[in-house]
Structure 1
Amino acid sequence: SYNMVVCPNNATTRLGSWDVQYDPLNSFDGTTGTFTAPKTGLYTVLFVVQMLASPVQADSYLEGMWVASNGATIKSVNSFAIAGTFMTPIICTGTLFLNAGDTLYPQVSHNMGIDKYPRFQGTSPGGGVTSTAFNKLSIVIQ
């Protein structure tokens, strides 16, 4: 449902509750959002999260980050200059080096003024039906 993940204002939220579509090496734990590198190499990673339409305060941001156990990170920020009520997206992508056994997970943080909810399948607080197509995650070894 839409409230599977709550992203509180001024806090960091690790993204879990993923529905795994394809993972031939069983390297990704969809519940926790943790990927464990099966072998050493360069990994290209991507997550896209679209928050439900809700109030956003002016001069705020939504930050996405990949965090690896070896200290590597990838960070993206989407800023919102004006206040309003709208959907807020973040796309966080890049390539990083992982050793076999290193872990990696996605997280978000924001200061938009209220708790945010990524769009999931089900009825949203506003009464509309949401779609699973709004949130995606991909990890590919080079």
Structure 2
Amino acid sequence: MIILLLGVIYSCIGFVHAQVGIRTSSPMGVFHVDGAKDNPTGGLPDASQVSNDVIVNKTTGFIGVGVSAPKVKLDMRSAGPENSLGLSTTTMSAVEAGAGAVRYDAVNIPVGPKIEVSDGVVWHKAYIAPQKAVIVARKVTGQSIVQGTATNITNWNVVRDMSNSFDGASGIFTAPRNGTYTFLFTFNFTGAVINDGSRVESQFYNTTTSTVLASVYKTFGQSMTGTADDANATRSTQAGGSSTVTLTLTAGTKVVTRLWHNLISSGSVPLRVTTNSTDPTNPDDGFNNLTIIEH
């Protein structure tokens, strides 16, 4: 009986210090599951083989999901691509769940999918700020605007587009989300003999609904067509200006900047564009620009 009892005690002590391996003969922790059963029979598995394992560290008790040496109580930062964490909802109050609890919620106000964190008193919606749209573009290729025809300004040189929401070739901006956007547009034409009382109109045009969302115009009242006020001399002048509008847009709304003018009686007037876009000191550089900012 004494020998049998000693044997049982020895077995229990050995079990306490044992490492348990499931589908692996070489456990790397106090508990090790080789999910795909792809670990080597001898030696250590590589990062790809560990990526489908679950390991409990024998010293800290930390759990590694696809991680051989977990650094926190639950470490999922494996070499594999499937490292998402699945959460579900709970009807527990923030007090019951305790500070630091996290839940997925799509029912409570505001209704809709969201992650919430308890501070021990209330659930707070976790908010991640999106990358706001900031567009900076300039014209470095020539374009003529036909008299009396609203013309889309195209072929922009995109200097900055943090949200990939502006197509420089077509000049179309697509609102990435519901929100408020400010458009700043500057323009300048080459010299021409312009009509007295002529007008240039900047338009911000919805290409989907074919409607003008906003327009700003500038008039030119000085006659340069050979009147007595100008000493009977016919001279050319440059028409230009700037427009700033703020629009409330829904996600997916497409807006293009257009110009309309009646500066001359017929024909077209070119925009004043540099012939050397690599030279910032060029006197024709920087007159036609577009900036869009999401608030």
TM-score by shorter chain over 0.5: yes
Tell me the equivalent position of 2:89: none
Task: Measure how far apart 1:67 and its partner are.
Answer: 1.4
Matches within 5 A, 1:31-110: 31-68=169-206, 69=208, 71=211, 73-84=213-224, 85-110=236-261
Unpaired runs of at least 5, structure 1: 124-128
Matches within 5 A, 1:8-23: 8-23=146-161
- Distance in 2 separating the partners of 1:134 and 1:42: 26
Tell me the equivalent position of 2:270: 117
Identity rate of aligned residues, in percent? 26
Task: Measure how far apart 1:78 and its partner are.
Answer: 0.8
Task: Measure how far apart 1:5 and its partner are.
Answer: 1.2
**1:72-115 deviation line (CA, Å, top 9, x unaligned):** 61211111112222111131211111111111110011111141
Q: Higher relative contact order by CA 8 Å / sep ≥ 6: 1 or 2?
A: 1
Task: Measure how far apart 1:8 and its partner are.
Answer: 0.8
Unpaired runs of at least 5, structure 2: 1-138, 225-235, 277-281
- Distance in 2 separating the partners of 1:40 and 1:11: 31
- How many residues of Structure 1 are paired with residues of Structure 2 in the alignment? 137
Task: Measure how far apart 1:64 and its partner are.
Answer: 0.6
**1:101-141 deviation line (CA, Å, top 9, x unaligned):** 11111001111114111111118xxxxx6533111101111
TM-score under structure 2 length normalisation: 0.44
- Distance in 2 separating the partners of 1:7 and 1:72: 18
- Distance in 1 separating the partners of 2:243 and 2:288: 12
CA spacing shift, 1:108–1:90, aligned 2, 3 Å: same
SS at match of 2:202: strand
Tell me the equivalent position of 2:286: 133
The CA RMSD over aligned residues, in Å, is: 2.0
**Segments ≥4 residues shifted beyond 3 Å:** 69-72
TM-score under structure 1 length normalisation: 0.87
Q: Which has the higher helix share?
A: 2
